Homo-oligomer: A and B are copies of this chain.
Amino acid sequence: MERTRSAILTAAASALARDRSATLPEIAKAAGVGRTTLHRYFPDRDTLIRAAVEDSVEAIGEAVTEARLDQGTPVEALHRLVTAYLHVGDRLVFLFNDPHVMRGYGVEQPEEPVTADPVLDLITRGQRDGAFDDHVSPQWIQHVLWALVYTGIEEADRGTMSRHGVAATVIRTLERGILA
């Protein structure tokens, strides 16, 4: 069943986000599935993790696409992007804590020029329009964005901040820093 596969991948991302050394039985239980079934879908741990990474990348990619970053002003788009990221928090945290998928993307890509990243497109557009700081590299802005969203998610998970307050706070700090 495709439904099972999806549930496993989601649960795996969630469980591994919390504890990257989560055991296979733990993941299976989190997915509401027996260890045998888990093994049936993903023969070994490595396969599972790769699939989970791929699935999360895809899910996040969809969320970003839906955010329509090419529409409206860069600042408006940025707001939608942050919101979108927060909605896929688990997967984002999972990718963030993986053997640092972020740098090489872990999943082998056949030398894709990667020029087609909507987020980087938005950032460069914002810099061109004079909306975003162009004294720093687009990559830096992207990483800062990830870091702040990640921090916000932690805050929400811990209960320190309300789910909604997080978005506003992340955006505020992202845009204007911490100075008064």
With contacts A147-B148, A148-B147 taken as known, whether A75 is within 8 angstroms of B179 at the C-beta atoms is: yes
Q: Mark A160-176, 1 if CB is under 8 A from B, else 0.
A: 11000000010011111
Structural contact, B103 and A173, CB atoms closer than 8 A: no
Kindly identify, within residues 127 to 180 of chain A, every residue whose CB is under 8 Å from any CB belonging to chain B. 127, 130-137, 139-141, 143-148, 150-151, 154-155, 158, 160-161, 169, 172-180
Q: Tell me the number of copies of this protein.
A: 2
Q: Mark A72-99, 1 if CB is under 8 A from B, else 0.
A: 0001000000000000000000000101
How many angstroms from the CA of A177 to the CA of B145 in the assembled complex? Answer: 10
- Chain B, residue nearest A99 (CB): B19
Partner of A143, one of B154, B174, B179: B154
How many angstroms from the CA of A127 to the CA of B133 in the assembled complex? Answer: 24
How many angstroms from the CA of A168 to the CA of B127 in the assembled complex? Answer: 19
How many angstroms from the CA of A175 to the CA of B136 in the assembled complex? Answer: 13
How many angstroms from the CA of A3 to the CA of B141 in the assembled complex? Answer: 41
Structural contact, A158 and B103, CB atoms closer than 8 A: yes
How many angstroms from the CA of A161 to the CA of B136 in the assembled complex? Answer: 11
* Chain B CB within 8 A of A21 CB: yes
